[in-house]
Amino acid sequence: MEKVELNKVLRNFYQNKRVFLTGHTGFKGAWLLCWLTQLGCNVKGYSLEPESDISLFNIVKDRLVFENVIADIRDKSVLQKEIIDFKPDIILHLAAQALVRRSYEIPSETFEVNAIGTANLLEAVNKLDKKCTVVIVTTDKVYENKEIDYHYKEEDVLGGYDPYSASKAATEIVVSSFRNSFFNPAKYSEHQKTVLSARAGNVIGGGDWSIDRIVPDIIRALQNKHSIEVRNPGAVRPWQHVLEPLSGYLTMAMQAYLDYNTVSKAYNFGPHANDHLPVKLLVETAIQCWGTGEWKDTSSSNNVHEAGLLKLDITKAINELSWHPKLNSAEAIEWTINWYKQNNSFDYTIQQINNYQSK
């Protein structure tokens, strides 16, 4: 399917669809909220308040029309009521504790939010008496990472060294259990639910102000004219602009809603095989785009464990969804840095969404 045709199909499909979006106050969630409203969806967002006043959600929320529910994914009764009352066609589940280093500080809460929160959502879906497609967003880190030069496929063994990665692998097991027990494809005519998981690579883009993420750390250092502290300069990651996996979530949800037989249980979304970059090159490219700056290596044996090498195989998404990355890693970094240079971030956010769709 050609890109122009796909954009037209997305708009035609999502116009007036009822979309329940969890995690809409987060970095990826706020971008997706903008995109969904641009497509003409009726959106209900369900999430905690942003952790900081400096957030993309706070920039865009007053310029968008949507239902805004501030609540905890762990509050099963509230979550169930909001889903049942809204009667969604599509559910996009992004709410999560999404930081590796924070998971070392709050390990049990990380498991509770990510695994049990997902179980709460799927239990509510089981009580929903209508057709619905659910996309559960996990991570590229769900695989048992052997730190070898290998592109992980959706069928590979799940694992997780750190609490974040393990909690997301546990989430995948939760999804599999609910799919088999309550939403079995063999009985689709009875329940009319399709549940899939999306595993995205390391996402970058404007509007991310999280602590202990590389791009926000870069921007804070550059803005304050400080040297950028880099913990793992040699670590290789599947970097991608935030709009890449979001386009994947939208595509897989659409295709599953139209014909559940044409989709797989899970999809990887990341860069092409030859476009995985070390952290050092990401930082140097960001400095070049900014126009000034420097970095220093702060790696230490005392740092908590973070994967040194991680690559994804995106063949299945390309072949089954006709999805492919539109931006290479250099373009993704340039789009990201350019966002932080803008004064009117809402308008530029919408401009980048439109530019991405037109590529």
Query: For the ranges 98-102, 158-162, 306-310, which has the lowest average pLDDT?
Result: 306-310
Question: Is residue 1 over pLDDT 50?
Answer: no
Sign of the Cα torsion 277, 102, 175, 26 reads: negative
Share of the chain above pLDDT 90, in %: 81
Q: Would you state the pLDDT for residue 6?
A: 59
Q: Is the confidence at residue 234, as pLDDT, over 90?
A: no
3-class secondary-structure state, position 210:
coil
Q: What does the alpha-carbon distance between residue 29 and residue 19 come to, in Å, rounded to a whole number? A: 13
How large is the average pLDDT for residues 182-197? 97
How many C-beta atoms surround the C-beta of residue 185 within 10 A? Answer: 15
Average pLDDT of span 346-352: 96
272-298 pLDDT per residue, tens:
989 988 999 999 999 999 999 999 998
Do 50 and 57 touch, CB atoms closer than 8 A?
Answer: yes
Q: Supply the pLDDT for residue 301.
A: 61
DSSP 90-123: EEEE--S---HHHHHHSHHHHHIIIIIHHHHHHH
* Stated pTM of the model: 0.94
216 lies in which domain range?
3-358
What pLDDT is stored for residue 306 in this prediction?
Answer: 54
**Which DSSP state fits 277?**
E
pLDDT confidence bin for 307, thresholds 50/70/90: low
List the beta bridge partners of residue 20.
44, 91
Beta bridge partners of 179: none
At residue 302's C-alpha, the angle toward residues 299 and 304, to 5°, is 85
Query: Tell me, what CATH number does 341's domain have?
Result: 3.40.50.720
Asked if residue 322 has pLDDT above 70, the reply is yes
Rank 105-114, 139-148, 227-236 by mean pLDDT and report only the highest: 105-114
What average pLDDT does this structure show over 192-205? 95
Q: What is the pLDDT of residue 20?
A: 98
Domain count within the chain: 1
pLDDT for 349: 97
* pLDDT, tens digit (0-9, with 9 covering 90-100), for 8-33: 888 999 999 999 999 999 999 999 99
Average of per-residue pLDDT values in the chain: 93
pLDDT tier at 99, thresholds 50, 70, 90: confident
